[in-house]
Every structure is written in C-alpha cells, then in structure tokens.
Amino acid sequence: MCDLKIISWNVNGLNNEVKRKSILLYLDREGGDILFLQETHLKKYCNQKLKKDIKGQLFYSALEVSKRGVVIIIKSNINFEKEEVWIDKEGRYVMVIGKIESIQVTLLNVYYPPEQDATFMKQLIDIVVTKSKGVVIAGGDLNLTMNPKLDSSKAKLHRAEKVADMLRKACSELGFMDVWRTLHPNKKEYTFYSGRHSVYNRLDYFLCLKTISQM
C-alpha cells in the first residue's frame, strides 16, 4: 500500500483516439498504479474502447448526453479484489470497494460540475459515511477551493464557498485530510486557470483518512 502511486487528472475528453492513447502513454511513463480520470466525455459504450487500451481493471460512470464522465483504472500490476462498485447515473462519481494485499480500500473518484449546488456534496458525504470501508482515498476535480487564501491567486471567496464549507466540516468531523496541503502547509500552487476571471485556483484534491499516514 505504501508504494502505490495514484494519479488524478481532468482529461477534458477521451473520445479522440490519438489524444486518448497519448494520455494513457503519458500516465504509463509516470508510473501510475491507480488512475482517477475526470471529464472523460465518454458514453457508456465508448468506455469499452478505453478498456481495450489499458491493462488492468476499469470502473466508470458515464452520462449519455453530458460532457461529464469519470473513470478509475487499476493497473494489472496491482492485485485488486473487487467487492462493491457504486456508480452515479449522472457521470459525476464512481466508488470502488475492494482489497489490495488483504487491506480493504475504498476508492472514490469525483467530478463536481461547477453548476452543482451543495445537494451533491451532501450526497457524496452520505455515501462515504454509509458505504465506504477500510482505507478511504477520495480524489478528483472538485471545482472548489478548500482554503481561498492559499488555493486561489485572488484572496476572495470562491463561488462554491457553501459547498467548500460543507466539505471542510465533513473532513474535520470524519478525520479526513487534504493530502497535498498537509505536505505543503503554506505553499501556493494551482491546477486550473480561468481566463474569464483571470484567476488561478487549486480545484483538484486527494482526501484520505488521517490514519492512512500510519500504514
């Protein structure tokens, strides 16, 4: 478990074969064991094309008429025993529960559409509380800033502040940590630039139980 490398990436579409293979090749070179991909834009049947391009297990959530879509890829070098899969019908999350080297894990990949209100965050928190088991690792493009002063180039509240506040409270109550921020308490780095608003934000996260650092 300590040697696992997990990569999260909003790929903004995988329908183009050249782009899809280029991204997968890059991820192979990066040595990712588990991949969280968001905004795949793949319809359900198109995910079978992706399955042919990978060596490993594929879990996905897709919506036929949306640019959403999330995928979890667990490479073949990881001995993962699947137990349960929870899929959002609107292509916003997929959660997989299973075992890696006899350790029970829950992997949750999320794309939080910018137009979604706090109702979806409540849904995510509920599924983690009621369905997750073992070591919980959640990641993805959340489209919010956990700490506006550090996670944004403009020190002002992000428009999704209500959603962010709900997530902060849940993390505190459930014992989750923002992995990157824990490793870099005061550092400013961003994952997205909005040309419309001329602002950089860190919108992508990995969240896990604080006890995972003891494993």
Whether the CB-CB separation of 82 and 61 falls below 8 Å is answered with: no
16 is in an annotated binding site: no
Q: Which residue has the higher pLDDT, 45 or 200?
A: 200
In the predicted structure, residue 211 carries a pLDDT above the cut 80: no
The model carries a pTM of: 0.93
Cα–Cα dist 112/186, whole Å: 25
**H/E element, 2:** none
Question: Stretch 93-113: mean pLDDT, rounded?
Answer: 97
What tokens does 214 get? 């003891």
141 is in an annotated binding site: yes
> Mapping DSSP to helix (H, G, I), strand (E, B) and coil, where does residue 14 land?
coil
State the CATH architecture for 6-214: 4-Layer Sandwich (3.60)
Strand ranges of the sheet holding 56-61, from the earlier edge strand across to the other edge: 6-10, 34-38, 70-75, 56-61
Tens of pLDDT, residue by residue over 119-172, are 999 999 999 999 999 999 999 999 999 999 999 998 665 668 899 999 999 999
109 is in an annotated binding site: no
15 is in an annotated binding site: no
Cα–Cα dist 188/205, whole Å: 14
